[in-house]
């Protein structure tokens, strides 16, 4: 996205003010802000975002007496954070930690908790890069309470398997680490995806990078330790066969 503008801050301020007028305009204009942030090609836009957040959003979120206004302001934050995270920008993750977690204990705490739904949804209106989206999704899973993650796990299995099948090394490593403690404890609710997940791990036991091979082997070990015999037994022949190549040569591990 390239527009004949040298300074986008006034546009940001205008959209921000409009987004505070009503619930309807809030959603539409918050998404518009997110699209601009996510797709703008000039990195200098991040300076405008920072200025808008520091001069407009943060003061209102912390000092505004009208709870409804603060909720509208918080929703703008959510969409800006989502756009920044989609770009893989560190400021998005910084805001995620400092704003959302902090607000969970306030009078808009319920909105802060619900906001994770917006952050986790695959929104085609904002989405730019599949790899960045998957990285953002997995980062967010680290912040969501374990019970919530396990409850939503059947919906998350396809993105997890896609991540394990990618060629993006950081994405694979993060996926292996995030799923290490989640999936082994929830095998009974993801039976239909378990075969694909196990075979994705098996493929990674032959990955060129040793750290990934070790994480994949550790994932298989944890599955075996915490799984039930009747669930895992159908996979035993193929697992034993495919593990042979990974375990046969000690130098490869």
Q: What is the biggest distance separating any 2 CA atoms in the chain, rounded to whole angstroms?
A: 66
Phi and psi based region of residue 88 (left: phi greater than 0; alpha: psi -120 to 50; beta: remaining): left
Q: Quickly state the pLDDT bin for 242 (edges 50, 70, 90).
A: confident
Q: Where is pLDDT greater, at 83 or 220?
A: 220
Q: Where is pLDDT greater, at 220 or 5?
A: 220
Residue 225: Cβ within 10 Å count: 8
Rounded percentage of the chain residues whose pLDDT exceeds 70: 76
Mean of all residue pLDDT scores within the chain: 79
Which of 181-185, 213-217, 232-236 has the highest mean predicted lDDT (pLDDT)? Answer: 213-217
Q: Please give the average per-residue pLDDT across 78-98, as a whole number.
A: 76
Q: Which helix (H) or strand (E) holds 170?
A: helix 169-179
With residues binned 3-state (H G I as helix, E B as strand, rest as coil), the percentages for the chain, rounded to 5, are 80, 0, 20
Q: Which pLDDT tens digit goes with each residue over 163-183?
A: 888 888 888 998 999 898 889
Q: Quickly state the pLDDT bin for 56 (edges 50, 70, 90).
A: confident
Token pair 């995806």 is at which residue? 193
Does the pLDDT at position 205 exceed 80? yes
Does the pLDDT at position 111 exceed 60? yes
Long-range residue pairs from 192-195, CB within 8 A, at least 24 positions apart, any chain: 192/154, 193/154, 193/157, 193/158, 193/161, 194/231, 194/235, 195/234, 195/235
Q: How far apart are CA 128 and CA 108, in angstroms?
A: 30
Does the pLDDT at position 125 exceed 50? no
Give the domain ranges of the chain: 8-120, 130-248
* Buried/exposed code over 141-180 (b: 16+ C-beta within 10 A; e: otherwise): beebeeeebbeebeebbebbbebbeeeeeebbebbbebbe
pLDDT of residue 216: 94
């Amino acid at each position: 996205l390239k527009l004949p503008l040298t300074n986008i801050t006034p546009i940001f301020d205008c959209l921000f003010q409009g987004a505070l007028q009503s619930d309807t305009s809030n959603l539409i204009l918050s998404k518009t802000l997110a699209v601009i942030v996510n797709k703008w090609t000039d990195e200098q836009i991040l300076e405008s975002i920072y200025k808008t957040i520091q001069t407009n959003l943060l003061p209102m979120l912390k000092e505004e007496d009208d709870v409804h206004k603060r909720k509208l302001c918080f929703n703008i934050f959510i969409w800006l954070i989502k756009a920044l995270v989609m770009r893989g920008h560190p400021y998005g993750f910084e805001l995620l930690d400092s704003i959302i977690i902090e607000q969970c204990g306030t009078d808009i705490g319920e909105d802060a908790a619900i906001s994770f739904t917006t952050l986790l949804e695959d929104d085609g209106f904002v989405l730019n890069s599949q790899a960045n989206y998957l990285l953002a999704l997995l980062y967010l899973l680290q912040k969501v309470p374990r019970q919530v993650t396990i409850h939503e796990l059947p919906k998350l299995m396809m993105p997890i398997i896609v991540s394990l099948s990618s060629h993006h090394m950081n994405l694979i490593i993060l996926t292996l680490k995030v799923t290490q403690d989640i999936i082994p404890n929830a095998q009974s609710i993801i039976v239909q995806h378990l075969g694909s997940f196990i075979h994705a791990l098996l493929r990674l036991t032959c990955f060129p990078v040793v750290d990934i091979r070790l994480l994949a082997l550790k994932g298989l070990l944890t599955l075996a330790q915490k799984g039930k015999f009747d669930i895992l037994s159908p996979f035993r022949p193929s697992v034993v066969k495919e593990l042979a190549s990974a375990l046969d040569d000690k130098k490869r591990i």
